[in-house]
Amino acid sequence: MTKLIIQIPCYNEERTLGITLSALPRQIPGIDTVEWLIINDGSRDRTVEVAKEFGVDHIVHFPTNQGLAKGFMAGLEACLRAGADIIVNTDADNQYCADDIPKLIQPILHGQADMVIGARPIWDTRHFSLTKKLLQNFGSWMVRLASNTNVPDAPSGFRAFSRQAAMQLNVFNSYTYTLETIIQAGQKGMAIASVPIRTNPNLRRSRLVRSIPSYVFRSAMTILRIFMLYKPLRFFTWLGAVPFGLGTLLGIRWLLLFFLVDPTRSRAPSLILAAILILIGFQLWMFGLIADLMAANRRLLEENRLRLRRIEFERNQAASKH
């Protein structure tokens, strides 16, 4: 028996949630059971009532708004507890075409991927400005570099996860899950696939992208933070190489001037600056070593959490059979 749960993070979505739910499938080839789950992220309107009217199977409640990332993770946890073999995440604003869900899950059903991301036709999307299209492509390129993956549309929220992939994900960022989960999955060696999907006409403005500069800054900080988290030694090695290299060049310059030009001049400022830069570079390398040791400890904790999730899933499965 293969169970698919479609999860939808919601925050004041009474106007669009019904449209989204009415398009979701209840039967998909290769899937025995299809269930729906919404994450009510502190909504103050009739979001929950609309969900119940359309027969949503599971509702996760937050009394106050916790943000998209926390809502996404709460949904994954609830789907795992409900016995999901495959989890599909989509948005409540009906941005993504629900008819593409069978296509989205095919790589997982065939054992070809652990995570599948729907690639939107960015350049053909009319309500995206040229600036947004360029930034979406640039951001996806940055994520590909940081994750060693080949995902053409990194910010896409239309994605599918196998049970094993969902158990391994841990979102630390409070802003969004889209970029972090790709980088994390790539660093964990998960198989990631991308399939072209269609989008629907825009029903409302994005709540995540309130301004282009803010979105770019927060996305860049997310990529940088996750890269530091998973590759701290490499990050601090490159960071420390800049002051260390400059300090070394200044030191070589001082030696050349001292021995070849005028040994009577001390040129103390250059020598002091070279020493400071070399010391800064060396300290950054030490930070990298310490962070790398901490990362090893984090990996052990993640493995323990993965074991606990598997044990909990097996217990829930056993309880549901009795």
pLDDT at 236 over 70: yes
The two tokens of residue 89 are 């995440």
Interval 288-313 mean pLDDT: 82
What pLDDT digit, counting tens, does each position of 157-196 carry?
899 999 999 998 888 777 678 888 888 888 888 999 999 9
At 236, which amino acid appears? Answer: F
For residues 185 and 79, which has the higher predicted lDDT (pLDDT)?
A: 79
194 and 248 belong to one structural domain:
no
- Specify the 3-state DSSP secondary structure of 287: helix
Task: Tell me which residue has tokens 């701290």.
Answer: 232
Q: What is the torsional sign of CA 219, 221, 227, 230?
A: negative
pLDDT at 137 over 80: no
248 and 134 belong to one structural domain:
no
Most confident of the following: 5-19, 164-178, 251-265: 5-19
70 and 147 belong to one structural domain:
yes
279 and 188 belong to one structural domain:
no
pLDDT value of position 266? 74
Query: Where residue 223 sits, what CATH number does that domain have?
Result: 3.90.550.10
CA nearest 170: which of 38, 299, 63?
299
CA nearest 58: which of 97, 8, 99, 19?
8
For residues 266 and 91, which has the higher predicted lDDT (pLDDT)?
A: 91
Cα dist from 174 to 60, 171, 180, 187, 195, whole Å: 18, 8, 10, 20, 27
Interval 215-244 mean pLDDT: 83
Most confident of the following: 3-17, 168-182, 218-232, 257-271: 3-17
**pLDDT band with cut points at 50, 70 and 90 for residue 124:** low
pLDDT value of position 314? 76
For residues 33 and 137, which has the higher predicted lDDT (pLDDT)?
A: 33
**pLDDT band with cut points at 50, 70 and 90 for residue 113:** very high
Interval 209-213 mean pLDDT: 62
Other C-beta atoms lying within 10 Å of the C-beta of residue 273 = 15
The two tokens of residue 22 are 């009415």
110 and 195 belong to one structural domain:
yes
pLDDT at 206 over 70: no
pLDDT value of position 215? 67
| Cβ–Cβ under 8 Å, residues 309 and 169 | no
224 and 313 belong to one structural domain:
no
pLDDT at 125 over 60: yes
88 and 50 belong to one structural domain:
yes
Region for residue 72 given its phi and psi (left: phi exceeds 0; alpha: psi -120 to 50; beta: otherwise): alpha
| Cβ–Cβ under 8 Å, residues 90 and 158 | yes
207 and 257 belong to one structural domain:
no
Q: What dihedral angle (degrees, nearest 10) is formed by the CA atoms of 136, 142, 144, 148?
A: -170
How far apart CA 76 and CA 84 sit, in angstroms, is: 9
79 and 172 belong to one structural domain:
yes
Interval 42-71 mean pLDDT: 92
142 and 241 belong to one structural domain:
no
197 and 239 belong to one structural domain:
no
Interval 79-108 mean pLDDT: 93
How far apart CA 270 and CA 253 sit, in angstroms, is: 9
**What is the arrangement of strands in the sheet containing 33-41, beginning at the earlier edge strand?**
58-62, 33-41, 3-10, 86-89, 159-162, 115-119, 192-196
Between CA 119 and CA 53, with CA 18 as vertex, the angle to 5 degrees is: 135
40 and 99 belong to one structural domain:
yes
Other C-beta atoms lying within 10 Å of the C-beta of residue 264 = 6
How far apart CA 230 and CA 169 sit, in angstroms, is: 13
pLDDT value of position 294? 85
How far apart CA 242 and CA 42 sit, in angstroms, is: 46
For residues 107 and 254, which has the higher predicted lDDT (pLDDT)?
A: 107
Residue 11 belongs to domain spanning: 3-229
- How many domains are contained in the chain? 2
> How far does the chain reach from its first CA to its final CA, in angstroms?
16
Task: Tell me which residue has tokens 């300290």.
Answer: 283
For residues 175 and 45, which has the higher predicted lDDT (pLDDT)?
A: 45
pLDDT-above-90 percentage for the chain: 48
Between CA 316 and CA 131, with CA 115 as vertex, the angle to 5 degrees is: 130
pLDDT value of position 269? 86
| Cβ–Cβ under 8 Å, residues 42 and 65 | yes
pLDDT at 128 over 90: no
The two tokens of residue 218 are 């927060």
pLDDT value of position 131? 67
Residue 77, exposed/middle/buried by CB under 10 A (0-12, 13-18, 19+)?
middle
